[in-house]
Amino acid sequence: MFDQVKDSYAELGVDVEKALEVMASTPISLHCWQGDDVGGFEGGDGELGSGLAVTGNFPGKARSIAELQTDLEKVLSLLPGNHRLNLHAIYGDFGGEKVDRDEIEVKHFQGWIDWCKAQGIGMDFNPSCFSHPKADDGFTLSSPDAGTRDFWIEHCKRSRAIGAEMGKQLGSPCVTNIWVPDGLKDLPADRLGFRKNLSRSLDTVLSEKLDPSHNIDAVECKLFGIGSESYVVGSHEFYMGYAMKNQTALCLDAGHFHPTEGIADKISSVLLYVPELLLHVSRGVRWDSDHVVLFDDQTQAIMQELVRCDALSRTHIGLDFFDASINRIGAWVIGTRAAQKSLLLALLEPSEKMHAAEQAGDFTTRLMLHEVNKAMPWSVVWNEFCARNNTPSDWQAMSAIKDYEASVLSGRS
């Protein structure tokens, strides 16, 4: 069956083996916070704040680093390809001590680095500028209070240094992404003032030049959130300009825009002006939210644009969702596989014929190729990719998820 499908794609000018090679070399960065509902391991109640919320109480959330690592190992075993870990600063190993955000060091994350090394995967990192008393008023790096700004500046500086050490030890650049929740529920009197503070704070955070083979800086925009419905300091326009001026990577989160606004069309514009792109593949529903990624039109459009722009070498693909209403392992596996399948579908497009038709002004042929491609038996290629990576098919993965739920997750209170 697979050989026949290969021949069918070859008639359209598509090299299936090349597509599978690209799939194998394109990692997805798995977000650790899906496993414990963005709680982290700083101690205390781990209560979310700063406009973040996780709904649901499905049994079995990770309560320790050991449990989270065990869960991640299970997820990795069910995913074809080689992937990465995306870690937030609140997930350090603090040994039961109170370590404030402006005091974190590499030693608090060495266990995670060693774990990634044992798994043979790379690592990405994020300062955690939320769920903290110094973020309770809605402002961090853009705060009117100099002391508050200095606190978060130091946290972000230390996060960059930790990210660089992760990249150095693992031999793969760590993408250190800065997102802050700063904003107002109602209309501000001085939009510009907050943005000037944010710009100056970021300049200070990024003032030390780090080896790009160890660390890649990214900044992340947002349209609105809970408690910042009227004004977000770090808007798309703010960070687009900042990333262009300072030549950092720009993070586009699919859940950070209006629900009817897709990020796929932004990719080609952004790539003209910034060196690299970070994607947080998510699914917004109605309001700013992070639902499990699906094999849907928006996810497919994102991956299509990356392939059509020949941008995979300049793009870092990560996931960002948190759902406690379903099995958390299942959420990870379903969401990651959806992103991977969308990428595979994009790689299997008859792109050369489509481009040739477009350049010739033959838009009828271009449209027909779009439609023909939709009916191609891409799922046979996906199953072949899973088989070559010794991972189960989608439905077989569900059986493994249920077994893990019964044997491991059900034992957690």
Among candidate residues 71, 320, 349, 384, the one labeled active-site is: 320
Structure-model confidence comparison of residues 104 and 51, the more confident one: 104
- 320 is written with which tokens? 């960002």
- Choosing from 222, 316, 341, 353, the catalytic residue is 222
Q: Residue 55: pLDDT band by 50, 70, 90 thresholds?
A: confident
Q: Does residue 61 have an active-site annotation? A: no
Among the options 214, 280, 316, 341, which is catalytic?
280
Q: Tell me which amino acid residue 402 is.
A: K
What pLDDT score was predicted for residue 24? 97
287 carries an active-site annotation: no
Q: Is residue 145 annotated as a catalytic residue, yes or no?
A: no
Active site annotation includes 374: no
What is the number of structural domains in the chain?
1
Q: Is residue 379 in some structural domain?
A: no
In a domain, 255, yes or no: yes
Residue 73 has pLDDT above 90, yes or no: yes
51 has pLDDT over 80 = no
Q: Per the domain annotation, does 58 fall within a domain? A: yes
**What pLDDT does residue 391 have?**
97
| Mean pLDDT of the residues in the chain | 95
171: CATH: 3.20.20.150
Residue at 12 is within a domain? no
Domain with 220, as residue range(s), is 24-349
Residues 123-162 have pLDDT tens digits of 999 999 999 999 999 999 999 999 999 999 999 999 999 9
Please write the tens of the pLDDT for every residue from 86-111: 999 999 999 999 999 999 999 999 99
pLDDT digits (tens, 9 = 90+) for 167-186: 999 999 999 999 999 999 99
Q: Which of 256, 316, 341, 353 is catalytic?
A: 256
pLDDT tens digit sequence for 31-43: 999 999 999 999 8
pTM: 0.95
Which pLDDT does position 227 carry in this prediction?
87
What's residue 85's pLDDT? 98
Does some domain include residue 381? no
- The reply to whether 88 belongs to the active site is no
Pairing label, strands 215-220, 174-178: parallel
Per the domain annotation, does 7 fall within a domain? Answer: no
- Report the pLDDT value the prediction gives residue 49, as an integer from 0 to 100: 65
Catalytic residue from among 217, 253, 305, 384:
253
Position 47 pLDDT exceeds 80: no
Determine whether 253 is an active site residue. yes
Domain assignment of residue 404, yes or no = no
The answer to whether position 192 is within a domain reads: yes
